[in-house]
Amino acid sequence: MRENLEKERRCILALQRILGINLNQYFEKIKQYYGSFAAAWGAADLPIVLGLSEKLSAAYAQGRKAISPEQLEQEYLAKGIKYLTRLEPEYPFFLLQISNIPCILYYCGDISLLHNNCLAVVGSRQASIYGTRQAKLFSAELSKNGLTIVSGLARGIDAAAHEGALEGKGSTVAVLGAGLDNPYPRENIRLFRRICEKGLVISEYPPGTKPLNYHFPFRNRIISGLSLGVFVVEAKARSGSLITCDLALEQGKEVFALPGVVTSPNSIGSLRLIQQGAKLVIYPQDILEELGYEFQTDVYNQQKAIISTINQGEKAIYQQIAWEPVHIDYLFEKFPEQQEMVMRVLLELELKGLIRQLPGKYYVRV
């Protein structure tokens, strides 16, 4: 039985090498017509049965001669890339409920994470300091409370969400829009490697696939499909994150949104979602309670306790510092003739972990 399954797995691998993710739409037809993928791999009439284009028909005829399913599997395994097919009992149930079910998931890391309760955390690639900080903070708290954070490894909110989950000693899954040997963007290569070691990276695209623009909106159905809901931290009026939300709603999933400054372009998408009925989120427990989790106090309560100990002078300055950078000259204007006191309080607030100094004498909340 296992031997037959291994043969089927390799033949699916070889078919996808030729047909690409087009194999998703042909998967059931092949299984019903030929009875097995091993039989389909050896069938000269497969292009006719599937109604393949002339280009794909030629690729199939050439591929049958050039590709060995066994050698192809070894080639991928040598790169550290494993794979899971739709035929296997370990395949995640949630993905069997979405449109265009991936016939193969290539992966590096702990595949068992696909069976955890997951939450997608998505948002703008050009994230603000506020958005990046909130994505990390929320992901750390949510992962500590039992949710696996799913995102797309993109720069900005995605990367911050993965980092927050890893720093919070939780778990995270990255869904790529390219082959696992072509992680994108390159600036996140270290993060990619960390997730391979401590979490899970998956892709429906075979090794060798480049990160083409149209891959990313398409892979978003996997991000939402794996998750109980989608949490949008920041999004512009036109954003890939909103595509993920539309997919989540089609799949019957929850949509959560973090409000932002109404004058910020990065907030418009999130605010529109709230207008349309997405759950407004202020604290991680808002999401946890909606999904039936009991919130375990951590970072927020620790910060609250620290803030309760600062004196009125410190509190007055702390209240002037926001999630967006505030220059020291602004604080000097607010507290004229008290520059020495401002400098001393800023140092004390930084030592207490409530604020952080940025280059150019800017300060932000932590």
Q: Are residues 258 and 280 in the same domain?
A: yes
Confidence of residue 299 (pLDDT cuts 50, 70, 90): low
Q: 117 in a domain, yes or no?
A: yes
Q: 105 in a domain, yes or no?
A: no
Strand order in the sheet with 355-358: 326-327, 362-365, 355-358
Name the domain boundary from 78, 100, 121: 78
Q: Are residues 272 and 314 in the same domain?
A: no
Q: 87 in a domain, yes or no?
A: no
Name the domain boundary from 78, 98, 119: 78
Q: What is the pLDDT of residue 239?
A: 67
Q: Are residues 8 and 154 in the same domain?
A: no
Q: Are residues 195 and 343 in the same domain?
A: no
pLDDT digits (tens, 9 = 90+) for 308-355: 778 888 888 888 887 667 888 888 888 887 888 888 888 888 888 888
Q: Are residues 44 and 133 in the same domain?
A: no
Provide the percentage of residues in the chain whose pLDDT is more than 70.
95
Provide the percentage of residues in the chain whose pLDDT is more than 90.
57
Q: Are residues 11 and 74 in the same domain?
A: yes
Q: Are residues 189 and 74 in the same domain?
A: no
Q: Are residues 158 and 243 in the same domain?
A: yes
Average the pLDDT over 63-80 and give the result.
Answer: 94
Q: Are residues 321 and 293 in the same domain?
A: no
pTM for the predicted model, two decimal places: 0.79
Q: Are residues 217 and 339 in the same domain?
A: no
Q: Are residues 57 and 185 in the same domain?
A: no
Q: 99 in a domain, yes or no?
A: no
Average the pLDDT over 210-233 and give the result.
Answer: 93
Question: Who wins on pLDDT, 3 or 103?
Answer: 103
Name the domain boundary from 78, 98, 129: 78
Average the pLDDT over 290-308 and give the result.
Answer: 68
Q: Are residues 250 and 338 in the same domain?
A: no
Average the pLDDT over 250-274 and give the result.
Answer: 85
- pLDDT beyond 70 at 77: yes
Q: 91 in a domain, yes or no?
A: no
Q: 61 is in which domain, residue-wise?
A: 2-78
Q: 210 in a domain, yes or no?
A: yes
CATH number of the domain to which 207 belongs: 3.40.50.450
pLDDT digits (tens, 9 = 90+) for 37-64: 999 998 999 999 999 999 999 999 998 8
The total number of structural domains in the chain stands at 3
Question: Who wins on pLDDT, 10 or 300?
Answer: 10
Q: 83 in a domain, yes or no?
A: no
Q: 203 in a domain, yes or no?
A: yes
